Amino acid sequence: MRIDLHTHSTVSDGTTSPAQVVAQAAAEGLDVIALTDHDSTLGWEEATSEARAQDIILVPGAEISARCGGISVHVLSYLHDPDNPAMREHERRVQEARRDRARIMVDRLAQDHPITWDDVIEQTKPGTTIGRPHLADALVRAGIVTDRSEAFDTLLWTGSPYYVHHYAPEAVTAVEMICAAGGVAVFAHPGASARGAVVADTVIEDMISAGLHGLEIHHRDNPPHERTRLTGIAQRHGVLVTGSSDFHGDGKPNRLGENTTTLEVFQSIEELGVTPVVRP
Ligand code: AMP
Ligand code: ZN
Ligand code: FE
Ligand code: FE
């Protein structure tokens, strides 16, 4: 079984539609795929229809933006109730905050580079969760950088003068919210040190106390020493360990199925979640 539990579509900052993500995963021989757009479940319906037409199992999910003090963290939520009022309110508030923050970043960038808010909006559909990758796309279109990676390396990284934070709940609060909505909470790429500071063991332990079910250890952004640290935490606390691609279409080099999750862990997630997985 090849199981990939972390992908993005055009509902957030991937470059392929929810149906295309599912169809591509099926075509490449994956058995289980999760759709986990940033702070949105807008792609669930389309992905569900496509999964029923393909020979693949779909795990509907989302990647919830959170923070630990000044550190931005992501918590994957699988199989929660998409109509849960607190989750809905989170999505509304974070999408608004992301949009406001992107506008401020464009204002800052526009002082030195020829890009406008319209250039960014052109890259998105109504309802898209806006992120720095959309600013990157506008910078590529304007000929300022060649691809998203170069945009992140030069103008959009967290230490850049153009970088602006956006509102997000504390990580422990996000975990509590996911669990209260019947979801399975997995800390996404917890050791992604190249993106900025990573959180301490004590923070992860606080998240586990709040109900965190697992750690996404097998992810290209977790370097070897971080995987060792995280594996120790997972073993000490008996939480699930997942592996995933974090596929963003052409927006990132990450390929579908480049990291995978075991059947046993997938079965645990299926049992824990309140929304059923979609079977063909
Ligand atoms: P934001 O949530 O707006 O702060 O932007 C973070 C998003 O940018 C995450 O979804 C990352 O997957 C994506 N990202 C981070 N670094 C890169 C990179 N070098 N190339 C493309 N996308 C990236
Ligand atoms: Zn993303
Ligand atoms: Fe992430
Ligand atoms: Fe992601």
Give per-residue pLDDT as tens, 201-259.
999 999 999 999 999 999 999 999 999 999 999 999 999 999 999 999 999 999 999 99
- Band of residue 2 on the pLDDT scale cut at 50, 70, 90: very high
| pLDDT in the model for residue 92 | 98
Cα 19 to ligand 3 centre (Å)? 21
Q: Is the pLDDT reported for residue 195 higher than 90?
A: no
Q: Which atom of ligand 1 lies at the shortest distance from residue 63's CA?
A: 10
> What local confidence, expressed as pLDDT, does residue 81 receive?
98
What is the predicted pLDDT for the residue at 196?
Answer: 82
**pLDDT of amino acid 219:** 98
Q: Which of 33, 37, 28 is nearest to 5 (CA)?
A: 33
Report the distance separating Cα 269 and Cα 147, nearest Å. 35
Residue nearest to atom 16 of ligand 1 (CA): 152
**Residue 263, pLDDT score:** 98
Considering only CA atoms, which of 78, 72, 68, 81 is closest in space to residue 5?
78
d(CA 206, ligand 3 centre) in Å:
20
Instruction: Return the ligand number nearest the Cα of 35.
Output: 4
Tell me the three state secondary structure of residue 41.
coil
pLDDT band for 97, please (50, 70, 90 cuts): very high
Whole-number Å distance, alpha carbon 63 to ligand 4 midpoint, is 6
Cα 12 to ligand 2 centroid, rounded to whole Å: 7
Q: Facing residues of 61 across strands?
A: 36, 78
**Nearby residues for ligand 2 (ion, Cβ within 5 Å):** 8, 13
Give pLDDT tens digits for 174-186: 999 999 999 999 9
Residues with a beta carbon under 5 angstroms from ion ligand 4: 63, 246
pLDDT for 160 equals 97
Domain boundaries defined on the chain = 3-91+166-272, 95-154
Residue type for 217, please? Answer: I
pTM, entire model = 0.98
Q: Which of 52-56, 83-87, 165-169, 192-196 has the least mean pLDDT?
A: 192-196
Q: How far is the CA of 132 from the centre of ligand 1 (A)?
A: 6
pLDDT in tens, 105-149: 999 999 999 999 999 998 899 999 999 999 999 999 999 999 999
Q: Which residue has the higher pLDDT, 14 or 196?
A: 14
| Alpha carbons 16 and 3: distance in angstroms, whole number | 19
Is the confidence at residue 189, as pLDDT, over 90? yes
Q: What's the half-sphere exposure (Cβ side, CA atoms, 13 Å) at 198?
A: 20
- CA 102/CA 97 separation, integer angstroms: 8
pLDDT at res. 280: 85
Which ligand has the minimum distance to the alpha carbon of residue 73? 3
Q: What CATH number belongs to 95-154?
A: 1.10.150.650
What separation in Å is there between the alpha carbon of 74 and the centre of ligand 3? 5
CB atoms within 10 A of CB 34: 29
* CB-defined site of ligand 1, < 6 Å: 13, 131-133, 148-149, 152, 248, 251-252
The two beta strands, 240-243 and 214-218, are parallel
The residue nearest atom 2 of ligand 1, judged by CA position, is: 131
Measured distance CA(120)–CA(94) in Å, rounded: 18
Percent of the chain with pLDDT over 90: 96
Give the model's confidence band at 61: pLDDT under 50 very low, under 70 low, under 90 confident, else very high.
Answer: very high
| 3-91+166-272: CATH topology | TIM Barrel (3.20.20)
pLDDT value, residue 194: 85
**pLDDT of amino acid 96:** 98
Q: 10 Å Cβ neighbour count for 173?
A: 15
- Which of 101, 147, 148 gets mutated to test ligand 1 (max ligand atoms within 8 A of its CB)? 148
Place of tokens 């890009």: 115
Which listed ligand is nearest to 74 at the C-alpha?
3
Query: What is the Cα–Cα distance from 115 to 104, expressed in whole angstroms?
Result: 12
> Quick one: 25 exposed, middle or buried, by C-beta within 10 A (0-12, 13-18, 19+)?
buried
